[in-house]
């Protein structure tokens, strides 16, 4: 920190420039902007004023953005703060961020991020590649909101390919696999299906055994009085139903469907067929109206160069019977994923800083030079450097912070998340790769803190209760829950994720050491609603720090540790809570 004499001297220079006639200070590009670092002025502002001069109002802005020397001993930059606390591991709840002067309104902040060439997201949030979190429905919902979903690999290779295709060929607003009935079913069977599945609709497309569309069963006739009638007797025949081919939908299917509904008063559903009358999907007017509203939203869907939704898929470092990396299977499956249009492949293991993972990344990088690759997990700078040298574009940081992960208890290994993120960020800057904060995030404030060090976050538990998550729904004491399990749990490893933790699925000679648990998450509704809360919190945090984008958030962040009493103070206290903040 500069001495008082130096501060007075540099401040005097600024004042003298302000006093110059006519109220402007002249350019002096020969001076080094670093001379003014001790005063707390923004480097970019100083450089601009030294180069171009300015007026008193410009200096006023400079003064407003100044970080007071009185603050700096308490609220420190990442380098100073984490170095000063290098003897202790720190995570989200024991750290808070200091507010700064701001002219940024939360709604004006930009959240877009580039994780690799050809992989851009409009929000810095990724759904985790866990078998109770991300399959095609979740990946579609994430991409429609501007994020990314990583489809897990606890399924047959062919099924994962199918899941990726559903995302890549998803037509926004098109229900690709509508619930359909056959002509030979009874109306009573349809009523039983509605009751069993708790459907909120009663109109169904009717297809024959070959998938050919034969008509539409209207909700007007799906009534108990017609229970003994066959569907074929009650349906509206094909010739009387308005249909359209997928080709006719064109590049903007929503605009085409919107025009159709405007022209056909009273029609609320549009059947989509192929050239041979096979049912491809269904578009409803309510979905079209919702999507039209969404298009006015600040954050647009994340799409690739062909205007398809972005999608990621996880793969494991599988080995053959000789314990060697199964290169042929890995390359075959990765190649098929690329053919389906996958935007990024994630090599997911609990210990990314290992020879097997490095070898696998090299194999993928050699075969697919331009394919974005996410690899993890690590908690050290050495791990980041190793994976970056192997060819990774983005590296997952986190060992043991997840709510259903027990790695730190079972293996005694893992670093509290914010300390791990800071250490890894140093290597990431050097190697010019992105880091992803994976695990431990329970609220939007945690995401803000993570994004001061990482380019994006990966969330599992936050999304596990969403409608789009594949977990089983359970009702307990009148409340709905969804199953949620760690990929290191015994059940998940038996389903295929054992390789992620260094075990073999078929290994019956020794007991697998579980590093995760099986649990329940309270049902939280659709992903759209959860993401709206998270995004709102991120934007609020950026507004407090005067950060217009994520790069400025990382640049401006100032940290301080919080005592246990301070943690209690941060949450609602001394009241009877009637309604939660969520």
DSSP type of residue 180 = -
pLDDT tens digits, 16-51 = 544 443 444 455 556 665 655 555 555 555 655 555
Calculate what percentage of the chain has a pLDDT beyond 90: 59
Write down the catalytic residue from 405, 424, 459, 466. 405
DSSP type of residue 223 = S
pLDDT band at 404 (very low <50, low <70, confident <90, very high): confident
Task: Tell me the pLDDT of the chain averaged across its residues.
Answer: 85
The mean pLDDT value for 298-307 works out to 86
pLDDT tens digits, 501-550 = 444 555 544 446 677 667 788 889 999 999 999 999 999 999 999 999 99
Write a three-state SS string for 529-578: HHHHHHHHHHHHHHHHHCCCCHHHHHHHCCEEECCHHHHHHHCCCCCCCC
Residue 150 host element (H or E): strand 148-151
What pLDDT, on the 0 to 100 scale, is given for residue 162?
94
pLDDT band at 323 (very low <50, low <70, confident <90, very high): confident
DSSP type of residue 510 = S
Q: Compute the distance between CA of residue 388 and CA of residue 374 in angstroms, rounded to an integer.
A: 10
Catalytic status, residue 500: yes
Write down the catalytic residue from 340, 485, 500, 558. 500
Calculate what percentage of the chain has a pLDDT beyond 70: 82
- Bigger pLDDT: 268 or 488? 268
What pLDDT, on the 0 to 100 scale, is given for residue 574?
82
pLDDT tens digits, 190-218 = 999 998 877 878 999 999 999 999 999 99
Q: Is the confidence at residue 238, as pLDDT, over 50? A: yes
Q: Is the Cα dihedral 184, 188, 194, 200 positive or negative?
A: positive
Range with the poorest average pLDDT among 156-165, 235-244, 342-351, 484-493: 484-493
Give 147's strand partners.
none
pLDDT tens digits, 177-186 = 788 999 999 9
pTM: 0.76
Q: Where are the alpha helices (DSSP H) in 370-434?
A: 381-390, 407-410, 417-431
Q: Give the angle subtended at the CA of 32 by the CAs of 31 and 38, to the nearest 5°.
A: 120
Determine how many CB atoms are found less than 10 A away from the CB of residue 581.
10
What pLDDT, on the 0 to 100 scale, is given for residue 175?
80
- Bigger pLDDT: 195 or 310? 310
Q: Which domains does the chain have, with CATH numbers?
A: 4-64 (no CATH), 113-170+301-570 (3.20.20.70), 174-294 (3.10.580.10)
Catalytic status, residue 31: no
What pLDDT, on the 0 to 100 scale, is given for residue 508?
43
């Amino acid at each position: 920190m500069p001495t008082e004499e130096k501060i007075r001297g540099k401040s005097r220079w600024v004042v003298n420039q302000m006093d110059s006639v006519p109220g402007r200070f002249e350019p002096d590009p020969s001076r080094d902007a670093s001379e003014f670092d001790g005063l707390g002025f923004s480097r970019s502002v100083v450089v601009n004023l030294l180069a171009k001069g300015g007026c008193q109002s410009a200096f006023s802005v400079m003064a407003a953005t100044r970080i007071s020397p009185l603050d700096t001993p308490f609220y420190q930059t990442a380098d100073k703060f984490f170095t000063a606390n290098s003897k202790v591991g720190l995570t989200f709840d024991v750290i808070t961020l200091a507010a700064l002067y701001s002219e940024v309104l939360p709604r004006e902040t930009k959240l877009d991020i580039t994780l690799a060439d050809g992989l851009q997201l409009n929000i810095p949030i990724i759904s985790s590649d866990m078998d109770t979190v991300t399959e095609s429905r979740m990946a579609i919902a994430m991409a429609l909101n501007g994020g990314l979903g990583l489809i897990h690999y606890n399924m047959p290779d062919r099924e994962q390919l199918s899941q990726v295709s559903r995302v890549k060929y998803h037509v926004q607003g098109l229900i690709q696999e509508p619930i359909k009935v056959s002509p030979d079913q009874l109306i009573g069977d349809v009523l039983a299906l509605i009751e069993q599945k708790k459907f909120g609709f009663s109109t169904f497309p009717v297809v024959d055994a070959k998938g050919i569309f034969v008509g539409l069963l209207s909700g007007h006739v799906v009534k108990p009085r017609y229970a003994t009638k066959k569907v074929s007797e009650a349906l509206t025949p094909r010739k009387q139903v308005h249909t359209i081919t997928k080709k006719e939908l064109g590049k903007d299917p929503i605009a085409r469907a919107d025009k159709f509904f405007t022209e056909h008063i009273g029609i609320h559903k549009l059947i989509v067929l192929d050239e041979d009358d096979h049912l491809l999907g269904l578009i409803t007017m309510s979905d079209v109206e919702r999507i039209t509203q969404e298009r006015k939203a600040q954050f647009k869907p994340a799409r690739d160069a062909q205007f398809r939704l972005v999608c990621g898929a996880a793969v494991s470092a599988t080995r053959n019977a000789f314990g060697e990396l199964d290169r042929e299977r890995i390359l075959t499956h990765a190649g098929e994923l690329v053919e389906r249009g996958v935007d990024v492949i994630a090599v997911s293991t609990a210990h990314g800083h290992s020879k097997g993972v490095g070898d696998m990344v090299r194999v993928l990088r050699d075969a697919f030079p331009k394919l974005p690759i996410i690899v993890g997990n690590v908690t050290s700078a050495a791990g980041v450097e190793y994976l970056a040298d192997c060819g990774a574009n983005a590296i997952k940081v986190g060992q043991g912070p997840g709510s259903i992960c027990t790695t730190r208890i079972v293996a005694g290994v893992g670093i509290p998340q914010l300390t791990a993120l800071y250490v890894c960020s140093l290597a990431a800057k050097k190697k010019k790769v992105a880091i992803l904060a994976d695990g431990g995030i329970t609220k939007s404030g945690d995401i803000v803190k993570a994004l001061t060090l990482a380019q994006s976050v990966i969330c599992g538990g936050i999304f596990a209760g969403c409608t789009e998550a594949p977990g089983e729904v359970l009702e307990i004491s009148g409340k709905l829950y969804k199953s949620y399990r760690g990929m290191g749990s015994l059940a998940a490893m038996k389903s295929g994720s054992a390789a992620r933790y260094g075990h073999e699925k078929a290994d019956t000679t020794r007991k697998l050491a579980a590093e995760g648990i099986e649990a329940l998450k309270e049902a939280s509704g659709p992903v759209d609603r959860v993401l709206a809360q998270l995004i709102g919190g991120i934007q609020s945090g950026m507004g407090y720090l005067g950060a217009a984008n994520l790069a400025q958030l990382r640049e401006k962040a100032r940290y301080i540790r919080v005592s246990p009493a301070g943690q209690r103070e941060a949450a609602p206290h001394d009241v009877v809570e009637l309604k939660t903040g969520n």
